[in-house]
Structure 1
Amino acid sequence: MTLPLVVGVDGSEAGLWATDWAADEAALHGLPLRIVYACLWERYEGPVIMQSEEVPPEHALAQDIVDRAAERARQRNPNVKITVDIVPDDAEAALLREARRATAVVTGCRGRGPIRGALLGSVSRALATHASSPVVVVRGTPHNRQGANDRIVVGVGDAATSTAAIRFAFREAEARRCALDAVRAWRRPAHKPLAHPLLAGNPAHRYEEQASVLLDDALRAPEHDHPDVVVDRVTAEGPAHHVLITHSTRADLLVLGAPRRHGPVALPLGRVPHAALQHADCPVAVVPQRAAAS
């Protein structure tokens, strides 16, 4: 069974950006597209009574939102199979539930307001932190959202957080037939032990060399599995979130890993994906990496 690509919409312009991106992604990978609008009114007021001639304004609004999103997606990619659903729940709970049976969940970078349909802020942060599927937050410049750079950037951190993200990035680059920048940030420690005089040298060079070795180790298996993907290795000094946000200015997608823990206690999202979701100049994919419960 092919799991759908799910996009959360709320009637905002950002939600329509997410719909455009999701329609293109579904066409690229041959996936069905599921358009979801979450609203609480039906939970408390019940479904529309079909015998009634009057349609509640809340239902009319919800139906208009999903219909407009579906029509926009059809016009963009007529061959994509599209379904729509109006879910009687808050956006966070509804989309986290959708993530359990989705290839990925796509949202816009902000909603219509602080209460109704706010798909970024608390909702997108919750998805990036807790969702069991990859989450893509569509943000950035129009040029970058439309995939005009032919380049994806993946942040390469520790194996515990980035293995799944690297695999995701390679699959995306292969499907798009674009270049992949694999970026590893490094920093000199604030306090380092004194080296033996005979071993003294350029400490920056040693840290950069270590970053290159870690980068090679992380890329060896996916490069073997995706030999047609052109990979540019990048090692850069500085905080990882600054380095990756800088590289997002010329990317169509920034891919990052985020830890997941088996068990009731969630791991925090982390500084790098949190900063990218707020400041990147392109769409951001946060890919879950499972970790054992402690």
Structure 2
Amino acid sequence: MIIVGVDGSRAGLEAAGWAATEAALRRTPLTVAHAVPRWVCEALSHRYADVARWMRDEANSVLVAARDRALRERPAIVVETTLLPGDPRTALIKAAEQAELLVVGGHGIGGVRGLLVGSVAHGVAAHARTNVVVVGERPATPRGEIVAGTDGSPHGLRALDFAFTEAELREVRLRVVQAWAWPRPGGFVPADPENEQHTLQQLQDLLAERQERHPNVDVVPEVVHGHPIEVLKEAAEGADLLVVGSRGHGQLAGMLLGSISQALLHHSPCPLAVVRA
């Protein structure tokens, strides 16, 4: 099952459309979810019963619009709708505990295009225990490629597994990018061809086993000298999906969302998958 959280915004509808395609590829049902304050779901006899009834009607309209968008994208999938009580971040995280994937829009009601990612998207990406896809920008004409960032950490390896599976499902090329840079005061260590070649060989060795398991996936390993955030942003321009791990090297224990994935939540030029360990 895939769950997509919607809120009545355009971003939510875009997320529903993206999730519908993913559900069709995985041959799994799609649940469209919308959260409302808990008191709205309580008995109709309380003091604000009329307000609660009106809010439920509005919430159902949001669900119907998102369901219709999903079915326009992929008419053959099974779509269910559900109303979740409570804070949308907490409610979606709990609802998605057994899901294959949790999908949300990058900006919610009142979000400003090009600025910070919505609080719900950031909250679920940081704390959900399942894999999360944040659908912000969607290229008008995707180039038929998935980009995965890796740093050799266990979290990065899980992201690679996810990326290979996605590339195989979508029948597109997979570009695996490793940013090659060592920081020092005032900037990064200059590029060294010998070190770059060594890093590329390590990356190819890392990919060899996964290529055997996914022989139909066209894989392009790439080592780029530069800051990981800038490197991945540039590599993902026009891509179908950018895939990163939830934490990489150098992150503090207990922090689910590493600095790279957190920055890309705000700046990814295409849908972003944050893969859990």
TM-score scaled to structure 2, two decimals?
Answer: 0.87
Partner of 1:31, secondary structure, is coil
Letter in 2 for 1:43: W
The answer to whether 1:215 aligns with 2:203 is: yes
Structure 2 partner of 1:181 = 175
- 1:245 is matched with which residue: 217, 233, 236? 233
Deviation string 1:174-204 (CA, Å, 9 cap, x unpaired) is 011100000011114538xxxxxxxxxx961
Structure 2 partner of 1:108 = 105
- 1:28 is matched with which residue: 25, 28, 35? 25
Conserved? CA contact 2:139–2:239, under 8 Å = no
Q: Assess, with a 3 A threshold, how the Cα gap between structure 1 residues 7 and 45 changes in structure 2: closer, same or farther.
A: closer
Structure 2 partner of 1:276 = 264
Distance 2:219 2:10 in 1: 34
Structure (1 or 2) with the larger CA radius of gyration: 1
Residues 90-129 of structure 1 aligned to structure 2 (within 5 Å): 90-113=87-110, 120-129=117-126
Conserved? CA contact 1:185–1:211, under 8 Å = no
The answer to whether 1:258 aligns with 2:255 is: no
CA shift at 1:159, angstroms? 2.4
User: Which blocks of at least 5 consecutive residues in structure 2 are unaligned?
Assistant: none
- 1:165 is matched with which residue: 145, 159, 162? 159
Partner of 1:43, secondary structure, is helix
TM-score scaled to structure 1, two decimals?
Answer: 0.83
Partner of 1:101, secondary structure, is coil
The answer to whether 1:234 aligns with 2:222 is: yes
Distance 1:238 1:102 in 2: 36
Letter in 2 for 1:138: V
Q: Assess, with a 3 A threshold, how the Cα gap between structure 1 residues 83 and 48 changes in structure 2: closer, same or farther.
A: farther
Residues 21-170 of structure 1 aligned to structure 2 (within 5 Å): 21-40=18-37, 42-43=38-39, 46-48=42-44, 56-113=53-110, 120-143=117-140, 148-170=142-164
Letter in 2 for 1:112: I
Letter in 2 for 1:271: S
Structure 1 partner of 2:12 = 15
Distance 1:248 1:203 in 2: 22
Partner of 1:219, secondary structure, is helix
Following TM superposition, the consecutive aligned residue runs of length 4 or more in structure 1 with deviations greater than 6 angstroms are: 52-55
Deviation string 1:185-228 (CA, Å, 9 cap, x unpaired) is 1114538xxxxxxxxxx961122123213312321221111011
Letter in 1 for 2:89: E
CA shift at 1:131, angstroms? 1.3
Structure 2 partner of 1:287 = 275
Conserved? CA contact 2:40–2:55, under 8 Å = no
Partner of 1:250, secondary structure, is coil
Conserved? CA contact 1:183–1:235, under 8 Å = yes
User: Which blocks of at least 5 consecutive residues in structure 1 are unaligned?
Assistant: 192-201, 290-294
Q: Assess, with a 3 A threshold, how the Cα gap between structure 1 residues 203 and 182 changes in structure 2: closer, same or farther.
A: closer
Distance 1:53 1:95 in 2: 26
**Residue identity (%):** 34
Conserved? CA contact 1:48–1:59, under 8 Å = no
Conserved? CA contact 1:188–1:204, under 8 Å = no
Q: Assess, with a 3 A threshold, how the Cα gap between structure 1 residues 129 and 218 changes in structure 2: closer, same or farther.
A: farther
Conserved? CA contact 2:181–2:225, under 8 Å = yes
